[in-house]
Amino acid sequence: MFRSQLGPDQREAAISQLSSESFDVLVIGGGVTGAGAALDAASRGLKVALIESQDLAAGTSSRSSKLIHGGLRYLEQYDFKLVREALHERELMVSSLSPHLVKPVGFLFPLTEKFKERTYVGAGLALYDALRGFQRALPWHKHIGQKQIHEIAPSLRPDLITGAIKYFDAQVDDARHTMTIVRTAARHGAVIATRVSAESLIREGKRVVGVKAKNLVSGKTINITATATVMCAGIWSDELHAKFDLKPGYGVTMSKGVHIVLPGSAIKSNAGIILKTPVSVLFLIPWGDKWIVGTTDTPYTGDRAEPFASREDVQYILDQANRVLSPKLKVEEIIGVYAGLRPLVANNKNSATTKLSREHTVDRPAAGFVSIAGGKYTTYRVMAKDVIDRAVIELRAIKPESVTEKLPLVGADGYFALEQQVERLSQTSGLDAETITHLLNRYGSMISELLELIDENPKLAVKIDPDLLYIKAEIQYAASHEGARTVDDVISRRTRIAFEAQDHGVHLADEIAAIIAPVLGWSVKERKASVTAYEELVDRELEALDQLLEEHEAINS
Ligand SMILES: Cc1cc2nc3c(=O)[nH]c(=O)nc-3n(C[C@H](O)[C@H](O)[C@H](O)COP(=O)(O)OP(=O)(O)OC[C@H]3O[C@@H](n4cnc5c(N)ncnc54)[C@H](O)[C@@H]3O)c2cc1C
């Protein structure tokens, strides 16, 4: 039986397997699409390897709005197929595939006018709810009148908002979910290695038979052989196609999306809020005891690995939200900011990015090589199935169909029962009920592995920071079981301290490094280097926000 644990020993074994064994399918890219593809292929019984040049979900898949949704605004573009497909995926995730990670969330669509707007928006939301068919994990939308709206959302301007319609979607910690898909793929036999970058293709005649990759930790080259190579490189697709000397049938345009994070006290509302903006929509999304507000949608051509928010991005978000909020959001309230890049499949490079389709494209630019790009986080499973359906043709053998529609991710089994046992788990573990619930919503039934760590070392039951819910066991577990290899991996993706803590978690970097150092076998020098690298990353990220704050102070002084 294979194990889902991703730790340093597993990585070492994976590196040696990559060069000594041959694979049916090699997946390039450990974002949600590559993770899904590895799981889809492994669960069909194929021999699979996945390589990721950075950390799991380090690209777009940790920087989304974190919504599992049908995409209300695609209705206005009459893209009913995309909406129906995404709503089906939402239902599967909430009810069976990953209920420990994907949770329903209510949104208010505020109205400024009493009859015409209510009829139009009401009809749209009725269609949205109807498109999911007979599946009903989430409640039906509901009309809310003027009196009630101000009880539900006191922060919505009473002089402007005349009512609302409440509807439901779902939300997820994207980076955690992607990592959990990868662990599930490992559980079904996939060989996983991060910090391994695909550099060039290995060819036999015109056929691609694998990849020359670089182990970015040791600097060594690895020749990986595979019958089918599947590229899921998102915004890196164009760059890699060019590097591999391939002529694909599509190009990938990048569009930047920025979010800001605010404390719970900044917005008084017991549901999320969606607002129409001149170019798209703006979401005010509840995130634990905080709010995530975004996003922007602007063309981007800069550094793919480190997209940062600009002063204009942050100002745009504040301005759009403040159209309906009273009191207004203030720049000093912002706790965190993050930027991501949407991979938009483009046929015509001159089109405005907002009009490009969110649907995905599968291509086979060479024998033995298949690629996919575009899509949405929500439809990762469908994208994965489509690309592996194409890849199995390269294997020239009859292979089973995808089974991921019936395959819960690790931690999902027994989750609904465990959810009913919070009190008992709290009594037996000595952890308070809030911490147990927090752990169940991050690990599901794998909570037992964390409780075992605490049994061995009770000091790990303590919170890493009194203002955050994370306990020290989670930090150790990130390195021993979840493939984290740096302070940044732990702060930015295994936990979301990077945008949840006031100083981006810089004050915790030393302590986090001290907890993971023994697991990763670090020297004192390596430990310090990982802390410094994180501090430098935060400095670069904070530049835009500091600029905005300085300007704000200058105006007010
Ligand atoms: C601001 C924003 C908000 C969004 N909100 C939502 C939302 O709410 N809901 C939704 O459904 N979708 C949303 N999306 C879309 C969604 O996030 C993306 O479609 C999805 O994450 C893309 O995943 P991916 O795996 O294709 O790409 P990525 O996550 O970028 O993964 C590609 C991976 O390939 C790796 N890679 C690159 N080159 C190499 C190489 N040479 N060797 C090995 N690995 C390599 C990269 O390091 C990267 O990890 C949003 C996107 C953005 C930007």
Within 190-229, residue ranges assigned H as helices are none
Averaged pLDDT for residues 19-26: 98
pLDDT confidence tier of residue 502, bands split at 50, 70 and 90? confident
The residues near 238 (Cβ < 8 Å, ≥ 6 apart) are 251, 252
CA angle 445, 449, 453 (to 5 degrees): 150
Is the preceding omega at residue 298 within 30 degrees of 0, hence cis?
no
208 to 59, 237, 303, 373, 476: CA distances (angstroms): 26, 17, 29, 19, 40
Instruction: Give the residue, out of 212, 376, 485, with the most ligand 1 atoms within 8 A of its beta carbon, to mutate for a pocket test.
Output: 376
Within 43-115, residue ranges assigned H as helices are 72-76, 80-92
Strands 369-374 and 221-231: parallel
* 108 CA → ligand 1 middle, Å: 27
Residue 354, pLDDT > 70, answer no
**Of 104, 88, 184, which Cα lies nearest the Cα of 378?**
88
* 32 CA → ligand 1 middle, Å: 7
Phi, psi of 295 (to 5 degrees): -145, 180
pTM of this prediction? 0.96
Averaged pLDDT for residues 472-496: 98
Residue percentage of the chain with pLDDT more than 90: 82
Exposed e or buried b per residue across 186-218, where buried means at least 16 C-beta atoms within 10 angstroms of its C-beta? bbbbbbbbbbbbbeebbbeeeebbbbebbbeee
Predicted local confidence at residue 556, as pLDDT: 65
pLDDT confidence tier of residue 358, bands split at 50, 70 and 90? low
**Of 284, 420, 252, which Cα lies nearest the Cα of 349?**
252
Q: How far apart are CA 26 and CA 222, in angstroms?
A: 13
The residues near 44 (Cβ < 8 Å, ≥ 6 apart) are 388, 392, 399, 400, 401, 402, 403
Predicted local confidence at residue 357, as pLDDT: 47
Averaged pLDDT for residues 90-105: 97
Structure tokens at 393: 């043709």
Q: Which helix (H) or strand (E) holds 519?
A: helix 509-520
User: Tokens 């952890």 label which residue?
Assistant: 431
Q: How far apart are CA 10 and CA 218, in angstroms?
A: 16
Instruction: Give the residue, out of 61, 176, 197, with the most ligand 1 atoms within 8 A of its beta carbon, to mutate for a pocket test.
Output: 61
* 312 CA → ligand 1 middle, Å: 23
For residue 67, give the ligand 1 atom closest to its CA. Answer: 8
Predicted local confidence at residue 557, as pLDDT: 65
Residue nearest (by alpha carbon) to ligand 1 atom 31? 31
* 526 CA → ligand 1 middle, Å: 29
**Of 92, 51, 48, which Cα lies nearest the Cα of 188?**
48
Residue nearest (by alpha carbon) to ligand 1 atom 25? 31
For residue 257, give the ligand 1 atom closest to its CA. Answer: 1
Ligand 1 environment, Cβ below 6 A: 28-34, 51-54, 58-61, 63-67, 69, 197-198, 232-236, 240, 257, 295, 340-343, 375-378
For residue 235, give the ligand 1 atom closest to its CA. Answer: 30
pLDDT confidence tier of residue 434, bands split at 50, 70 and 90? very high
* 234 CA → ligand 1 middle, Å: 5
For residue 374, give the ligand 1 atom closest to its CA. Answer: 19
Predicted local confidence at residue 359, as pLDDT: 80
Instruction: Give the residue, out of 33, 64, 224, 381, with the most ligand 1 atoms within 8 A of its beta carbon, to mutate for a pocket test.
Output: 64
For residue 35, give the ligand 1 atom closest to its CA. Answer: 25
* 101 CA → ligand 1 middle, Å: 18
Which structural domains are found in the chain, ordered by start?
8-61+175-250+355-406 (3.50.50.60), 252-346 (3.30.9.10), 415-546 (1.10.8)
* 413 CA → ligand 1 middle, Å: 27
Q: Mean pLDDT in the chain?
A: 93
Phi, psi of 502 (to 5 degrees): -55, -45
Averaged pLDDT for residues 8-19: 97
